[in-house]
């Protein structure tokens, strides 16, 4: 492709809403253009990398035995009502009406549609297992679309759904898909890790995420260097914590004055105790009413664990008004002592052995010290609510967990029968008995993975494409397009490389060398071939790799061969 005939406009300006480097570089390199928050045009250069990514995914999905189809972007409300996700999906679901005022949504995921397809065609265990996939635009009305293609509202996803007669068959396909995902991310030359994950609103029993480790990742993962245990912090477990406060004789329950102490550090300062001696009481609202959750004062509560323990579809931190109604006190002074037993309360298991601890007194400017379970507080529900962090003990061995940030590029789930039961997607076994199909689902973000590849492969001057995702393999630069000899040779080498099957972008623009080199660094094409008057005089051209930019002078007649060698290596 001749640059002069292509559609590629780079810019020096960094848009001020572009917080992460992949977003900045994709904008500057003329790969994407924002139409609205989280909604982008893939410009021709960007689209080429996206298509490469889709090709890799398609190849691995086909090799894993999945079958491609294409489902609609717009879904009728009735299907989402069958699974009750029309409401449960919340504001992420973009709802629309047609001219007859019928309800539709823009599909954020396709469990409902694919299950509706399969329940109409499949009757017998003999037709199973099945694995269907598509690469398609999703829409999720994300609260904070940001980071360009990484958290967009409209974005391309590869989503696959498998259907089985029983859990063993699902297990086999799940393994095959896990292996296929590993090959995809290896093919992209990405450094990634596979972590245990929370199933979230999709539901189901087991799930794993593929994380590209990067400072700018929105997810936090912990891993144990000793045994390899790795999990998203939403899901991670840790070895039980030491109890808050030393065991010993029970102290007296005492109300103490703590004027204005609404934060943990204010309470610990005023009472001169460590934060691990405090038990904090958090008030949440759920669709079943308010719930109190208790966790050690120096630690955070994991809301995903609480929601999944409660089976709550909606879980939000209660506002001032609800806190006052439930506890009778302003925010900051909630505690479990003396509250109506009607209010559900759940304790994190790591404070179960605690004694003589401090809690809010349910009135302004007061706390209790010397609090003990049983005598002062009746708590019957205990579960793991801890948000695990770096330095916690590994739950599988005696190692210590490390904390990293990651970008979730893929997520695979064992769904079980949640959707097939709700939608009556059944099969007959060899005895003629009917069962709901067991399902799996497998998502992979196309744009997010390309963005993650840039996060891992760039320098201060621009992108350094891993060859498999590069929009072009070779950039031929004619340094002075007013020099006929230069143009003649550059044209010839461009033609020859194309004949050899290379994907070549040819910078034939009438621009200064400085501009061409800056653009070359920015768009990051892996191999560069520069033709200028100076080297030409010596019968040579310059070949280099974007990765190290080390220039090699090559005799003109060997230039094509040298470029092909570099591409092969």
Q: Which residues bind ligand ATP (CB under 6 A)?
A: 109, 140, 142, 150-152, 155, 157, 200, 408-411, 443-445, 447-448
Residue nearest to ligand ATP (CB): 445
Reduced to 3 states, what is the DSSP secondary structure of residue 478?
strand
- Toward ligand ATP, which CB reaches closer, 448 or 546? 448
Reduced to 3 states, what is the DSSP secondary structure of residue 343?
coil
Task: Give the shortest CB-448-to-Mg ion separation in angstroms.
Answer: 11
- Toward ligand ATP, which CB reaches closer, 151 or 280? 151
Residue 151 touches which member of Mg ion, ligand ATP, none, C-beta under 5-8 Å by kind? ligand ATP
Residue 199 touches which member of ligand ATP, Mg ion, none, C-beta under 5-8 Å by kind? none
Q: What are the distances in angstroms from CA 307 to CA 293, 314, 318, 319, 334?
A: 11, 8, 14, 18, 20
- If you ran DSSP here, which 8-state letter would residue 451 be given? H
- Toward ligand ATP, which CB reaches closer, 408 or 508? 408
Task: Give the shortest CB-40-to-ligand ATP separation in angstroms.
Answer: 10
Task: Give the shortest CB-155-to-Mg ion separation in angstroms.
Answer: 13
- Toward ligand ATP, which CB reaches closer, 152 or 244? 152
- Toward Mg ion, which CB reaches closer, 411 or 516? 411
Residue 447 touches which member of Mg ion, ligand ATP, none, C-beta under 5-8 Å by kind? ligand ATP
Q: Tell me, letter by letter, the H, E, C secondary structure of 32-72.
A: EEEEECCEEEECHHHHHHHHHHHHHHHHHHHHCCCEECCCC
- Toward Mg ion, which CB reaches closer, 299 or 411? 411
- Show the DSSP H helices in 122-223 as ranges: 167-187
Task: Give the shortest CB-96-to-ligand ATP separation in angstroms.
Answer: 19
Task: Give the shortest CB-425-to-ligand ATP separation in angstroms.
Answer: 20
Print burial letters for 176-196: b (CB count within 10 Å at least 16), e (below 16). Answer: bbbebbeebbebbebebbbbb
Q: What are the distances in angstroms from CA 516 to CA 401, 480, 489, 523, 553?
A: 47, 10, 18, 11, 19
- Toward ligand ATP, which CB reaches closer, 127 or 316? 316
Reduced to 3 states, what is the DSSP secondary structure of residue 553?
strand
Task: Give the shortest CB-408-to-Mg ion separation in angstroms.
Answer: 5
Reduced to 3 states, what is the DSSP secondary structure of residue 497?
helix
Residues paired with 373 in a beta bridge:
377
Task: Give the shortest CB-384-to-ligand ATP separation in angstroms.
Answer: 21
Residue 409 touches which member of Mg ion, ligand ATP, none, C-beta under 5-8 Å by kind? ligand ATP
- Toward ligand ATP, which CB reaches closer, 279 or 412? 412
Residue 504 touches which member of ligand ATP, Mg ion, none, C-beta under 5-8 Å by kind? none
Residue 241 touches which member of ligand ATP, Mg ion, none, C-beta under 5-8 Å by kind? none
Residue 28 φ/ψ, nearest 5 degrees: -65, -35
Name which of 469, 456, 468 is nearest 21 in CA terms.
Answer: 456
Residues of this chain that interact with Mg ion (CB under 5 A) are 411
CB 104 within 8 A of CB 94: no
Task: Give the shortest CB-152-to-ligand ATP separation in angstroms.
Answer: 4
Residues paired with 293 in a beta bridge:
282, 346
- Toward Mg ion, which CB reaches closer, 423 or 441? 441
- Toward ligand ATP, which CB reaches closer, 124 or 205? 205
- Toward ligand ATP, which CB reaches closer, 39 or 63? 39
CB 148 within 8 A of CB 26: yes
Task: Give the shortest CB-410-to-ligand ATP separation in angstroms.
Answer: 5
Task: Give the shortest CB-141-to-Mg ion separation in angstroms.
Answer: 17
**Dihedral over Cα of 5, 565, 50, 118: its sign:** positive
**Dihedral over Cα of 217, 218, 219, 224: its sign:** positive
Task: Give the shortest CB-39-to-ligand ATP separation in angstroms.
Answer: 11
- Residue 201: count of CB within 10 angstroms of its CB: 13
Residue 235 touches which member of ligand ATP, Mg ion, none, C-beta under 5-8 Å by kind? none
552-555: strand order across its sheet: 504-507, 474-478, 527-531, 540-545, 552-555
Rounded to an integer, what distance in angstroms lies between the CA atom of residue 450 and that of residue 468?
11
Residue 280 touches which member of Mg ion, ligand ATP, none, C-beta under 5-8 Å by kind? none
The number of CA neighbours under 13 Å toward the Cβ of 551 is 9
H or E segment and range at residue 287: none
Q: How far apart are the two ends of the chain, measured CA to CA in Å? A: 23
Task: Give the shortest CB-463-to-ligand ATP separation in angstroms.
Answer: 19
Rounded to an integer, what distance in angstroms lies between the CA atom of residue 90 and that of residue 364?
35
Task: Give the shortest CB-481-to-ligand ATP separation in angstroms.
Answer: 40
Name which of 124, 107, 149, 51 is nearest 454 in CA terms.
Answer: 149
- Toward ligand ATP, which CB reaches closer, 200 or 328? 200
Residue 410 touches which member of Mg ion, ligand ATP, none, C-beta under 5-8 Å by kind? ligand ATP
- Toward ligand ATP, which CB reaches closer, 140 or 546? 140
Q: What are the distances in angstroms from CA 97 to CA 222, 262, 317, 345, 536?
A: 43, 47, 32, 41, 65
């Amino acid at each position: 492709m001749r640059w002069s005939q292509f559609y590629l406009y780079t810019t020096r300006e960094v848009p001020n809403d572009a917080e992460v480097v992949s977003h900045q570089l994709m904008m500057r390199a003329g790969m994407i253009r924002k139409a609205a928050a989280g909604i982008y045009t893939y410009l021709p250069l960007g689209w080429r990398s996206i298509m490469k990514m889709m090709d890799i995914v398609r190849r691995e999905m086909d090799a894993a035995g999945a079958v491609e189809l294409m489902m609609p972007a717009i879904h009728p409300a009735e299907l989402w009502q069958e699974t009750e996700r029309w409401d449960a999906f919340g504001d992420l679901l973009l709802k629309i009406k047609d001219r007859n005022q019928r309800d539709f949504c823009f599909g954020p995921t396709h469990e409902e549609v694919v299950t509706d397809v399969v329940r109409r065609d499949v009757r017998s265990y003999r037709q199973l297992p099945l694995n269907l996939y598509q690469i398609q635009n999703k829409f999720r009305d994300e609260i904070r679309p940001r980071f360009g293609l990484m958290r967009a509202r409209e974005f391309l996803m590869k989503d696959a759904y498998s259907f089985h007669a029983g859990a063993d068959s699902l297990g086999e396909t799940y393994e095959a898909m896990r292996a296929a995902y590993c090959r995809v991310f290896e093919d992209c030359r990405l450094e990634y890790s596979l972590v245990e994950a929370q199933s979230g609103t999709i539901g189901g029993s087991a799930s794993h995420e593929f994380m590209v480790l990067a400072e700018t990742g929105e997810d936090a993962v912990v891993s144990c260097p000793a045994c390899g245990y790795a999990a998203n912090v939403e899901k991670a477990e840790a070895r039980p914590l030491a109890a808050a406060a030393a065991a010993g004789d029970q102290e007296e329950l005492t109300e103490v004055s703590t004027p204005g102490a609404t934060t943990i550090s204010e309470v610990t300062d005023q009472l001169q105790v460590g934060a691990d001696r405090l038990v904090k009481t958090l008030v949440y609202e759920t669709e079943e009413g308010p719930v109190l959750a208790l966790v050690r004062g120096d630690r955070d509560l994991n809301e995903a664990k609480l929601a999944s323990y409660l089976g709550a579809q909606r879980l939000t931190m209660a506002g001032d008004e609800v806190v006052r109604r439930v506890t009778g006190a302003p925010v900051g002074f909630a505690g479990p002592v003396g509250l109506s037993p009607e209010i559900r309360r759940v304790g994190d298991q790591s404070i179960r052995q605690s004694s003589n601890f401090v809690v809010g007194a349910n009135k302004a400017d007061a706390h209790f010290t010397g609090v003990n379970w049983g005598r002062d507080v009746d708590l019957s529900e205990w579960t793991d609510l801890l948000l695990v962090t770096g330095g916690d003990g590994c739950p599988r061995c005696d190692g210590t967990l490390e904390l990293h940030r990651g970008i979730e590029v893929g997520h695979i789930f064992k769904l079980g029968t949640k959707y097939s039961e709700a939608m009556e997607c059944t099969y007959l076994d060899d005895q003629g008995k009917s069962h709901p199909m067991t399902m799996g689902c497998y998502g992979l973000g196309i744009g997010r993975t390309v963005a993650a590849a840039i996060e891992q492969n760039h320098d201060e001057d621009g992108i350094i494409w891993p060859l498999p995702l590069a929009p072009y393999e070779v950039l031929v630069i004619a340094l002075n397009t007013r020099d006929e000899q230069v143009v003649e040779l550059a044209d010839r080498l461009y033609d020859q490389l194309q004949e050899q099957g290379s994907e070549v972008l040819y910078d034939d623009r009438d621009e200064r060398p400085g501009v061409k080199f800056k653009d070359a660094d920015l768009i990051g094409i892996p191999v560069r071939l520069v033709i200028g008057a100076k080297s030409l005089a010596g019968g040579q051209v310059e070949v280099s790799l974007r990765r190290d930019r080390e220039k090699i002078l090559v005799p003109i007649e060997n230039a094509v061969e040298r470029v092909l060698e570099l591409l092969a290596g």
